[in-house]
Amino acid sequence: MKNSERVSRSRIFYFSVFFFFLLLFGYLFFVLQDLVLPVLMGMFVAYISHPGINYLRRKGIPKGIAILILLGAVSFLIFFLGQRVVSAIPSEKEALELRIQLQYKMNKNFLTFLGKDDFSSEGNIIDDVVGDELIQMFETWNSFLAFDENDVKEFQSYIDSSLVSKRVLHFYTDNLKYEILPTPEVEVGKLSDSLFPLVEKVKPSSRISVFLNAISTWIILPFVFIFLLIDEGEIKNYFLSIVPNRYFEMTFATFANVDEAIGNYLRGTLLQSSLVGMTIFIGLVLIGFQIQAAILIGIVAGVSNAIPFLGPVIGLITGILYAIIVEGIDPILPFIPDNPVVGVLVVVLIAQFLDNTVFQPLVLGKAVNLHPLVVVIGVTGGSIVGGFWGMLLAIPTIVVFKVVISTLYNQAKEYYIIY
């Protein structure tokens, strides 16, 4: 009787402790959500760096020096890529001009596709069959590009300062001719206070303040990286020490299986995505894209490639959007088509062909053995919960849960905990 009471009290105690820490973790996750991504990135970089640490130690390099070498290499890579990405990001003025140019190009290409002079004129057979449906879809796209009142005031200030070229003004005024979601009109001459009164605008953060804010949050990443690599198993041993003896071997096997599964997935996915991004970067340079644009599109395509099914679409859309607004490309090879949209399609198709036939089988293998329906539901659910990062982390999270559940089930049956 006393033994059964002791067992009951133990279960209540462990459940209470588990529930308390679960609530505490949820509260901290909500309050410190800005630190979640830097901590996860630090853990990710440390995790994939373990083979490098082991390699350097086999070469006779002390562990401390090996960690510093890898930290320097990772810091240099992040700084190099970050510098390229920041230099490729348009300023506020350039972003407005890109929206104008993209809307202009999209309107022209769409009207040409339907064989129309404007949105009210008669078109070709495509317009007769599905023109109304396509125009409704096109209205949605234009709604993302159309200027609101604040954008108009900002753009008008650039006009008054003579910072806008005649070419961009031509694109803008041409966009106003179409009745489909027209952008509010600006005065090409002097600013009219009656139409566009000067209001106090909240100025965006400067580059220095943005940099300092990013440093204050992401400064934790190198500390997470260093301390996880310095760890000689103390963290794992601590968690194992609080596990009852009856469940020790089961928990140890679960740790080992999760470590192997997530390690294979993360390292394989990183290498696979890097190869896809590099392939798209080289292809875009060959078809005549500027190196900075090719780097940015290659990084976006490589990172998003870790998202099953949706990743290649993100890379393709990013490349096509740039191809629509770019002018005067000069392909390196003579047989490459001058049409940048066709070039992007060819590059992405080649990259996906290499990914499906070479990169995935050789690099990733069977690290992720999930049913396609589980992948689709996981990615969709991740996007609802955490947006882009939720989609990116959905599959490794599912892999961890799958390994944990299957290992616990098999171990519980092996040790006769369940029947």
Residue 29 lies in a domain: no
409 with 280, same domain? yes
pLDDT value of position 183: 47
Report the mean per-residue pLDDT for the chain. Answer: 76
354 with 262, same domain? yes
Question: What is the tens place of the pLDDT at every residue in 175-216?
Answer: 777 655 444 455 544 433 333 333 333 344 444 555 555 556
141 with 266, same domain? no
167 with 260, same domain? no
pLDDT of 59 higher than 80: yes
393 with 262, same domain? yes
272 with 163, same domain? no
Examine the fold and report which residue of 141, 175, 209 is the final residue of a domain before the chain moves on.
Answer: 175
Question: What is the tens place of the pLDDT at every residue in 105-128?
Answer: 887 877 787 887 777 777 788 877
Residue 86 lies in a domain: no
pLDDT value of position 402: 82
Return d(Cα 261, Cα 125) in angstroms, integer.
Answer: 54
Residue 257 lies in a domain: yes
Total number of domains in the chain: 2
* pTM given for the model: 0.67
162 with 265, same domain? no
pLDDT value of position 191: 37
Confidence band, pLDDT 50/70/90 cuts, at residue 294: confident
Residue 238 lies in a domain: no
pLDDT value of position 292: 79
pLDDT value of position 279: 93
Confidence band, pLDDT 50/70/90 cuts, at residue 278: very high
Domain that holds residue 268: 244-419
Residue 12 lies in a domain: no
Residue 156 lies in a domain: yes
Residue 233 lies in a domain: no
Examine the fold and report which residue of 129, 151, 175 is the final residue of a domain before the chain moves on.
Answer: 175
Packed helices 340-354 and 248-286: angle between N→C axes, nearest 10 degrees: 150
pLDDT of 353 higher than 50: yes
Question: What is the tens place of the pLDDT at every residue in 35-44?
Answer: 777 777 777 7
In this predicted structure, which of 84-88, 121-125, 175-179, 363-367 has the lowest mean pLDDT? 363-367
pLDDT of 395 higher than 90: no
Confidence band, pLDDT 50/70/90 cuts, at residue 280: very high
263 with 158, same domain? no
Average the pLDDT over 394-401 and give the result.
82
Most confident segment among 4-8, 138-142, 151-155, 179-183: 151-155
116 with 252, same domain? no
Question: What is the tens place of the pLDDT at every residue in 236-270?
Answer: 777 777 777 777 777 788 878 887 777 778 888 88
282 with 395, same domain? yes
pLDDT of 57 higher than 60: yes
Average the pLDDT over 378-405 and give the result.
80
pLDDT value of position 137: 75
pLDDT value of position 416: 63
pLDDT of 335 higher than 60: yes
170 with 248, same domain? no
In this predicted structure, which of 7-11, 100-104, 409-413 has the lowest mean pLDDT? 7-11
Taking residue 174's Cβ as centre, other Cβ atoms within 10 Å add up to 14
356 with 248, same domain? yes
pLDDT of 373 higher than 50: yes
pLDDT of 149 higher than 60: yes
Work out the percent of the chain whose per-residue pLDDT is above 90.
Answer: 2
In this predicted structure, which of 188-192, 369-373, 389-393 has the lowest mean pLDDT? 188-192
Residue 367 lies in a domain: yes
Examine the fold and report which residue of 175, 195, 222 is the final residue of a domain before the chain moves on.
Answer: 175
